[in-house]
Chains A and B, each alone.
Chain A
Amino acid sequence: MSEQVESLIRKDYSAGFHTQIESDTLRPGLDEEVVRFISAKKEEPEWLLEWRLKAFRAWQEMEEPTWAHVSYPLVDFQALSYYSAPRSMANKPKSLDEVDPELLATYAKLGIPLHEQEALAGVAVDAVFDSVSVVTTYRAKLEEAGVIFCPISEAVHRFPELVKKYLGSVVPQKDNFYAALNSAVFSDGSFVYIPKEVRCPMELSTYFRINEVKTGQFERTLIVADEGSHVSYLEGCTAPMRDENQLHAAVVELVALDDAQIKYSTVQNWYPGDKEGKGGIYNFVTKRGLCHRNARISWTQVETGSAITWKYPSCILKGDNSVGEFYSVALTNNLQQADTGTKMIHIGKNTRSTIVAKGISAGRSQSAYRGLVRINAGAEGARNYTQCDSLLIGDRCGAHTFPYIESRNASAVIEHEATTSKVSDDQLFLCQQRGLDAEKAVSMIVNGFCREVFKELPMEFAVEAGKLLEVSLEGSVG
């Protein structure tokens, strides 16, 4: 079957087009001047510039981490450009009518219409193109409910107290190499604030698009759910097909205050590189949420893109009775490499966490789950349940599991299970004997394998995720 499977995993990346648009792109290289330039461009207050510079200085002292189960030539950070914006965005368009039609067309082509009347009902979108936010839909409607959803560069001016209070409160500037880099040069991203006891009336979504050549994307997302509030947020990402590797080093911080709930879903479809492993995005992302008392943060991710994925969406369960969840599907094909998982840090009493991680490896790819469950001494009655399953398609890929379990409290109960299996010849034959073609059979088996994760996604995106897997696996069976 291997050959059959192998030949099925072939398909073009449909989001791989490039938008012809004039951009202002900063000269390559990174020094203090660049950090000051970005800050000035955004007309930032002094405190934020200082905050960036502190991060930059820390970053200069740090080393790129090498512990992940991935290999790639080290990134030349001086060869990258740290800021790029469509020229038409220079004079901040006031409404959608003033936005460059090329940009709108780009998003339409990606299936993300930005005109509200055409958009998915009930989903507000912030569209980020290279280093700037292009447009945010449904803002008026959201503001009626008191919900703030705007580019973070704008929030710095309009809600300085909120930004100052929470920026870096979950992921400090010096947290790790990429987080420090992001803190120094982050360009844009989304800011969300849900007031007390408010249930956000619609899904919020940010769509990231890298367009420019040799540009790093460093967006920063900050979501604050005030006491008793609820929000569901989704991010999507694509990039053109290019031979060079592009760097994406984002930071996402979630703050769930007492009794609040945040559901954060990601459908990551960055360009994965071609079949020979040329090009593709390096996705080095730090995502972390802080749960106060009775709060719940749920991460759901479907990762099919990127040449390299290095990503561990985590929960700090600080408040008593708080809940952290991580549901993940990571699919790698061709020469992709993924080292992804989560960290659940139990600090409060009766904190609970659930981890369901599904890895699918095809082609010559390598997929690793890396997770940490830590029960601190004070986390009386903490519970964790972890399930990691790997599915191998073809005999040239790898699937790995590295779970770290650290318990410091006798009343905690931790359960971890991991299995590895393959799409078996018998399963494939059964499906084919019932009239399904091999491709449909594999996608059905893979979808079945991922079911527990997909059911955590908002409805529309669950369908999208299923299709995305199908596309990503196409050509993996003959």
Chain B
Amino acid sequence: MNKTTASRLALTLVLSFGAGAALADENADLVVNEEIEMTVRAPAPAYLDGHLPEILSGWLFRSDETQDLQRDDFDNPGMIFVDQALDQWAMVDGSEGKSCASCHDDPADSMAGVRAVYPKWNADAGEVRTLAMQINDCRETQMGAKKWGYTSGDMTAMEALISVQSRGMPVNVAIDGPVAATWEQGKEMYYTRYGQLELSCANCHEDNYGNHIRADHLSQGQINGFPVYRLKNTKLNAAHDRFKGCVRDTRAETFDPGSPEFVALELYVASRGNGLSVEAPSVRN
């Protein structure tokens, strides 16, 4: 038995294992606060080359109880952190005596639509920037404040606050022009098998979404809901931490959150969800 066969057998075994676990209502629709209509299924972008018949929010793959937690902001524990970030928004930090509000006033106005287009090209810096990179650039360059850890509580809460201002808007990241090379790098990673289990992102999230990996109902791995409040660790989780967890689960040495590799992967994975609504903070298991 060669190694590839062994890993396929391993995947077959784990995929078959939890077939009796909780099944989600995949026909459900998501309306938040009886007001914001979320697009949880959308036509697959052309550049997916027909690999997915349609794109589906991870919300569709969760149990009824978990789905309900996202229907009302009061029931959504992720909103606790949005509240905390709103306090932070007005708090002066760093040598320049500024807060976020000093430049950006009310986030409801200044941040509307921002999450939907990140990661995006920053012409001045000549780099692809994630939202976390941009927040830290603001802190260092504009506020004279210390950078936050890339996936720290302060950072994920601020990302959630900014994301909330774009809820219901379609994810719409650019994939061409100056970001094209980074996008190609991310796509290459998506289809590369990593780790002792020799699994690519696509093996689980393109070839096997809807199936179970032990007790877990595999989604398409969309990141339109990040940062996400997980029932498992009862806090907001950054997309790069989820990437790290996935790569680790293939039994590989992972890339670091904030690394150029994960920035490229975030751009590519975000683009796979172009058309789904910004959902953050979403609730997952």
User: Do A and B truly interact?
Assistant: no
